[in-house]
Amino acid sequence: MPAVMTDEQATPAVPQESHNLRLLTTERSNEASEGLDTKSSLDIARIINAEDSKVANAVKKALPEIAQAIDAVARCLRDGGRLIYVGAGSSGRIAALDSAECPATFSTLPAQVQYIMCGGPKALASAADVNEDSPEMGQRDIAKRRPTRKDIVIGISASGRTPYVVGAVEYARQRGAHTAAITCNRDTRLADAADITIVAEVGPEVISGSTRLKASSAQKMITNMITTGAMTRLGYVYDNLMVNVHMKNEKLVERGIGVLQRVTGVDRDVAIRTIKSAGKSIPIAVVMLKASVDKMEAVRRLQKSDGNVRRAIENSALEL
């Protein structure tokens, strides 16, 4: 087991990369935004918008690796494992956002998709006084989650060199966990540490080095794809509908009723009655109506299909 150092031992300071930070594409000066401080508000908005338009294409080039990550996450969650994001600064906040959205969108348990933020939750709202240059701190924080071969740990770092993130991913991989990296630079230590590397080369930022801009937009798009893709593969989406919606407020109750109507073609009254008899579970209600079974049989089918709604309806034992 790799050693995990204490806070006293985890002193900052020596850069972990041999190359100069300023050589990274995300740190270079952007010719398109030169003289930004002399521009009008409309010109500033136009410049930012023009640069933002490059993000989707950069992500598109990484689709094969994103697909690999989707499959890896789906396998791990299906086998009872977890997706654990690790990040610092803006990248960590993107990770936390995706983690927080999964239970609301797919009714996953909070433990299934987690995040580790350098500096802890307090660093989400402010630039906390934490040392992201310490790989030992990253090792320590991921060690608390006890990663195993069932889990996948995804490190997010725009530069691809953040020692905290690199340390966490290296530790997780040594413990047998699956690993992936999301970065905006090629040939980095984080890429070397991970099994799967997703690189979105968005180029220099409008404000040099401010990776909360294009880099974070790319990271948000990629994390959206990974969790949405994995949950869809697991059957938590039926057709393109949010069948696992958790109806905890008026808006979500209406969404659930609408989903059931669209999937089954029943009228509103039948949808409401079925949802009530299904214990307010849309997946159970969908299976009841689509397969013409009672609640008990619907529950049995969903359990047999690991929550995959389509397979529960078709009563299929196909594998992912």
Show which residues are catalytic.
Answer: 101, 132
- Characterize the bridge pairing of strands 83-87 and 152-156: parallel
DSSP, collapsed to helix, strand or coil, labels residue 146 as coil
193 C-beta neighbours (distance < 10 Å), count: 24
Cα separation, 259 vs 261, in Å, equals: 5
DSSP letter string, 266-320: --HHHHHHHHHHTTT-HHHHHHHHHHT--HHHHHHHHHHTTT-HHHHHHT-----
Measure the CA–CA gap between 319 and 246, rounded to whole angstroms.
26
Report the alpha-carbon distance of residue 125 to residue 93 in Å, rounded: 9
Contact residues for 200 (Cβ-Cβ < 8 A; gap 6+): 55, 58, 59, 61, 62, 182, 183, 184, 215, 218, 219, 221, 222
Residue 238, H or E segment: none
Structure tokens at 34: 């030169």
List, as one string, the DSSP characters of 54-83: THHHHHHTTHHHHHHHHHHHHHHHHTT--E
Note the residue count of the chain.
320
* Helix, strand, coil distribution of the chain in percent, nearest 5: 50, 10, 40
28 contacts 204 by C-beta, under 8 angstroms: yes
Q: Do the Cβ atoms of 99 and 223 come closer than 8 Å?
A: no
